[in-house]
Amino acid sequence: MRLLRSAAMQGDPGPQPLRYASINGRQLFAMASAWPELATGRLTGTYHAVGRERTQIMDAAFEIVTTRGFDSLRPASMIFEHMSLGPPAQLAITLGCRGPFFSFEADPLSGIIALQQAVEDLEEGRCEQALVLSYMLEPPAAWALLLDGEGPLRAAFRYGGGEVAAVEPAYDRDPHGLGALIQALEAATTGSPAIVLARAPGGRQVSVRFETAGAGPT
């Protein structure tokens, strides 16, 4: 496995709640569309980590409906912007990502679960590269990373306890944990093994250990 690209972006909240989703979708698009690997025609999977922004998006739509009426949401493309699937699906459409498409809602485990699915699909040959992404609305931000199945990077996922010396995401700024995963992947790419542990209320937890083959465990 190899980390081809990664990006994290803090955004502008925009003029009103209605625009939050589309603004963050455009941020994602701006990030990923600049990556030449996505224009190569390789079969690309899309893996979306999502959480409470689903309700925030819907709140924005309800606010519009109640203040301006349902007709203000026409045409259909406007509805699409108010679905959590909208930005990642639009990205897949625009960039021609024809491989597996997943959306995971499991805060604060969404990011690590999305990454696990991406790694499995790369390992099992269901896609040639994997775009993992998430965005949040308040404060607006977006993350994206692109992996392929080549290279010495390895990821081992584990449910339940047992991992030590792990980094935990800062959930207030990184609610799906993708920012922490990007940092760990970047570290492992340079030869520093890293562990990220994501924990949900009630004791559910997932960890991932990134290593570069030949670098040795910590």
Partner 1 sequence: MSEPVAITGWAFASPFGTDEASFWEGLCHGAPPLSTWRSEPMFPGLECGAAQLPGPAGSPADRVRALATDLARRALAHAGHAAPPAGLGMGLGSYWGEIDYLALPPRPAPPPLLPLLARDLGLSGPTANLPVACASGNYALAWAAARIRRQDAPVMLAGGLDVIGPAAVGGYIFLDNLCAALPLPFSPDRDGFLLSEGGALFVLEPRDAARAAGRPIRAVLRGYGNAHDASHPTRPDPAGGGLVRAMRQALARAGLGPADIGYVNAHAPGTIQNDPGEAAALREVFGPAGVPVSSTKAVLGHAQGGANALEALACILALQRGLAPPTRSVAAADPALELDVILGAPREFSPPRALSLASSLGGATSAVILERGAQ
Dihedral of alpha carbons 36, 38, 42, 47, sign: positive
- What tokens appear for 132 in the block? 């993992």
Q: Mask 31-70, x = binds partner 1 (CB under 8 A)?
A: ---------------x---xxx-xx-xxx-xxx-xx---x
Q: Mask 140-179, x = binds partner 1 (CB under 8 A)?
A: -----------------x-xx-------------------
Of 113, 111, 105, the closest CA to residue 158 belongs to 113
Q: How far apart are CA 75 and CA 198, in angstroms?
A: 39
Q: Mask 81-120, x = binds partner 1 (CB under 8 A)?
A: --xxxx--xx-xx-xxxxxxxxxxxxx-xx--x---x--x
| Only segment of 9-17, 18-26, 71-79, 188-196 that touches partner 1 (CB under 8 A) | 71-79
Total number of residues binding partner 1 (CB under 8 A)?
Answer: 57
- What tokens appear for 70 in the block? 């349902």
First to last CA, the chain: 19
**In whole angstroms, how close is the CB of 40 to partner 1 at the nearest point?**
14
Q: CB-based burial of residue 71 (10 Å sphere; 0-12 exposed, 13-18 middle, 19+ buried)?
A: exposed
- What tokens appear for 34 in the block? 């600049």
Q: How far apart are CA 36 and CA 80, in angstroms?
A: 27
For partner 1, the binding residues (CB under 8 A) are 46, 50-52, 54-55, 57-59, 61-63, 65-66, 70, 73-74, 76-77, 79-80, 83-86, 89-90, 92-93, 95-107, 109-110, 113, 117, 120, 126, 157, 159-160, 200-204, 206
